Structure 1
C-alpha cells in the first residue's frame, strides 16, 4: 500500500493552476493531468495513471474530476483529495456563479442576443460531443442499436424515469450483445491509501445518499439538492452526458427556466475546469432557496459528492479484482445508451430552444464546423457565437 508523499498545500497549488488553465473538456483534462503528474512531476507512473483512468471511466460520476481526486489521495491522503477537488473546481465554479449574478441583468437587446448566442454554443458543443461519443462508444452495429433505442425511449418517455430506464436497459442489452474482454493486468499499480473498511463505509454512505436523493422531499431546498445528487450519481461518461439529467432535474420541476439553463450551459463552455461546475450556476439561479453564492456552493457539493464516495468505495477492491468480462459488457451497453441520451437532448431542449431562424441554423452549423473540422478551441467558438448573438439581437 502506498503512503502519501506530499502535502495538501502542494496538491492545492498544482490543481488550482490546472483549474485556471484546463480548457477542452474531460478528455483534454486527462491529457493535462498526465503531463502534470506523470511526465513533469512523476507523482505516479504511466501504469498507475492508466489504471486510475480506467477505474474512473468505469464508475458513475465526473471521470476527470475523479481522476484528479484520486491523484490527490495518492499524494497527500484525504486532505490531498479534497485539495485537488477544490483547486480544480473553484475557478470555474466561481466564474459561473458570477455569470449567474449577471445573467439577470442582461435585459436589453444586446444582452438577450448574447444569451441566445450562448444557446447556439450549446447546439454546436453538444453536436460535437454526440459525434465524438458515437465514434468511440457506439462504433459497431450492436452498440449503435442500443444508442438508437435509448434515443427513442427518452424521446417518448422524457424526464428522469425515461433516462434511468434507458441506462438500465443499456446495461441489460450490453450483457446480451456486447462481448468485451476483461482488462489485462492486475488492477491499480499504485492505489491511493485506503482500506476495505473505509471502502465499505464510503459504499454505505453512497447508498444512503442515493436513498435520500430518491426520497420525496416537501422542502424545496432539499428537493432541489436531491435532484442534483441524482444527476451526479447517474452520469456514466461524465462531461456533456450530465446535460439531459440536469435538465430533467431542474427545468421540469420549474426551478430553472429553459432559457437560463441553456444560456448557463453555453457559458460553461467558456470556462476552464470540469463541466460539472455547471451545477454552481444552477444553484445560484434556481428559484429554490437559498440561491446565490450559497445555493451555488450547495449544488456544487451535491453533484460531486456521489462520484467521490463511489470512487473511494471502489479503490480498495478494484486494486485486487478489476472489472470482469460481464461487467465490461454491461458498461459497454450503458455507454452506448448515454450516446442516445445525449442525442435526444441535442434535439430537445438544445436545438428546439435555441434555433429559431435560418440565421440561427447558420451560426450553429458554423460553430459545429469550427469545432469539428478546424479544431477551433471551444473558448473561441463561445466568444464568436456570443458576439454574433449580441449583434443579431441589436439588429432585430
Structure 2
C-alpha cells in the first residue's frame, strides 16, 4: 500500500493523520450491524449514525452526511457504499473490506437458509415478526432524523431547505428526483446560508490519492463495457456475473429500486421463475443487512437451484462490486468540497436537503408501510423512546418490536 506524499490524500485540507482503528475493530462493529440492521437501506442510515456518530464518534454529523451525499450521487447500494467508506476511512483497505464482508455476510448466509423455509413466512407468526421489523425501522429512522436535524438544520434557511426537500420528495418520490433535490439544496445553500463560512473539517484521511481513484474508475468502466459486449462461448457463470454487475452499475437509489432490474435480469431471461423471485424478495425483507443480498438467494436458485454456492457467491460479488469501485474512486476527489467558504455554504444546503430526504423517507415508505393502527403506533413510540431517552441497545429494541408486533398480530 502506497504511503508516500504523492499518494496520500486527505479528505479535507488538513494534514494526513494516522488512521484510528484496525480492520478487526471495524469487522466486529459491522458484524453487529449486519445482524441487527433491520428495516432496509433507509433504516441503515439511522443505525450507522447511531453507531458511528453518536456512540463511537468515528466521525461527526457533517462528515457523515457528506459521505452519504456522495453515495447517493453514485449508482449502487448507498448504505453498503457508506459502510465501505467508513471502514476505508477508519482502517484503510483492510477496514473497507472488513466492513463490507461483516455487514453483508449475515444476511447473505441467512438467505441461503430462508430459501428453503420461505413458505413458512406466510403464517401469522411469520407475518407478525416481519411487521415488527418494519416498526423497528420507524423508531430508528425517526431517531436519525431528529439527531441530524438538530445538528444540520440549526437556523431558518437550512430548516426551510429541509422542509422544502421533504415536501417535494413526499409528493413525487423517485431516485432521479432525489438527486435533483440534493443538487438544488446545494444551490439554495449557496444563496441562503451566508452565515456558514467555515469549511468542514474532518479527523479522517485516505491512504491513497487521485491516481488510485482514476485507476479504480478505469477498472469500473472496463468491467462495465465488457459486460455490455456479446459473451457467446463463455461459461454460464460469466453471463451471470455480467448481468449482476450491470444491475449494480446502472441502478440509482439502491435497495428496492434494483428489484425491477433484477427481475428483468433473472426472470425475463428464464433463469428463475417469477414465484421464486417473489419468494426471495419476501425473504430479503425479513433479514437484516443490505437488500442487495437478494442476489445471493437468486444466484443460488439459478436454473432451478443449479447455481448453488458458486452461483450465489458470483451474483453477490458482481452486484456489489461496481458501487464499491465507484465510491472508492470518487473519495479522493470529494475532499475539494471542503476547500472554502463558498463550498461550505453549498454543503450546508446539501446537508439540509439530505435531512429533508430522510424525513420524507420516514413518512414513505417507512411510516405508511409499518404504522397501520393504534397498536403499531404504540409499539413504534415505545421503541423510539427506548432509543432516544433510554439509549437502549438496538437489539433490545428489535426484540421489543418483534415480540410485541407478533403478539398483536396473532392475538388480534
Shorter-chain-normalised TM-score: which range?
0.5 to 0.7
Map of 2:111 onto structure 1:
97
Pick closer, same or farther for the CA change 1:138–1:251 going to 2, 3 Å: farther
Report 1:25-104 matches (<5 A).
25-30=47-52, 56=67, 59-60=70-71, 62-73=81-92, 80=94, 83-94=97-108, 97=111, 101=115, 102-104=117-119
**Aligned equivalents of 1:329 and 1:289: distance in 2?**
50
Report 1:204-353 matches (<5 A).
204=218, 228-229=248-249, 246-250=255-259, 267-268=287-288, 277-280=290-293, 282-284=294-296, 294=311, 298=315, 302-303=319-320, 305-315=322-332, 318=335, 323-353=339-369
| TM-score relative to the length of structure 1 | 0.68
Instruction: Check whether the contact 2:337–2:347 (CA below 8 A) recurs between aligned residues.
Output: no
Map of 1:239 onto structure 2:
none
Map of 1:167 onto structure 2:
182
**Aligned equivalents of 1:51 and 1:120: distance in 2?**
27
Pick closer, same or farther for the CA change 1:279–1:351 going to 2, 3 Å: same
Instruction: Check whether the contact 2:161–2:188 (CA below 8 A) recurs between aligned residues.
Output: yes
Map of 1:178 onto structure 2:
193
Map of 2:165 onto structure 1:
150
Map of 2:216 onto structure 1:
202
**Aligned equivalents of 1:104 and 1:98: distance in 2?**
14
Map of 1:216 onto structure 2:
none
Instruction: State the Cα distance separating 1:394 from its structure 2 match.
Output: 1.8
**Aligned equivalents of 2:369 and 2:337: distance in 1?**
46
**Aligned equivalents of 1:302 and 1:162: distance in 2?**
24
Pick closer, same or farther for the CA change 1:2–1:146 going to 2, 3 Å: same
Deviation string, structure 1 residues 48-76 (Cα, Å, up to 9, x no partner): x9999798467435444313124443xxx
**Aligned equivalents of 1:211 and 1:150: distance in 2?**
35
**Aligned equivalents of 1:166 and 1:210: distance in 2?**
28
Deviation string, structure 1 residues 318-338 (Cα, Å, up to 9, x no partner): 4x9953333332222222112
Deviation string, structure 1 residues 349-372 (Cα, Å, up to 9, x no partner): 222222222111111111112111
Deviation string, structure 1 residues 136-186 (Cα, Å, up to 9, x no partner): 22222111111111112112222223212212211211222224334487x
**3-state SS of the aligned residue for 1:105?**
helix
Give the unaligned 5+ runs of structure 1: 5-9, 39-45, 214-218, 235-241, 269-274
Q: Verify: 1:132 aligned to 2:132, yes or no.
A: no
Deviation string, structure 1 residues 112-157 (Cα, Å, up to 9, x no partner): 1111111111222221122122112222211111111111211222
Q: Verify: 1:20 aligned to 2:31, yes or no.
A: yes
Matched length: 347
Give the unaligned 5+ runs of structure 2: 8-20, 38-46, 72-77, 228-238, 265-276
Deviation string, structure 1 residues 72-111 (Cα, Å, up to 9, x no partner): 43xxxx5x35643455334444455357535552121111
Instruction: State the Cα distance separating 1:249 from its structure 2 match.
Output: 4.2
Map of 2:381 onto structure 1:
365
Instruction: State the Cα distance separating 1:198 from its structure 2 match.
Output: 2.2
**Aligned equivalents of 2:263 and 2:226: distance in 1?**
21
Instruction: State the Cα distance separating 1:385 from its structure 2 match.
Output: 1.0
Query: What is the root-mean-square deviation of aligned Cα atoms in Å?
Result: 4.6
| TM-score relative to the length of structure 2 | 0.66
**Aligned equivalents of 1:321 and 1:152: distance in 2?**
27
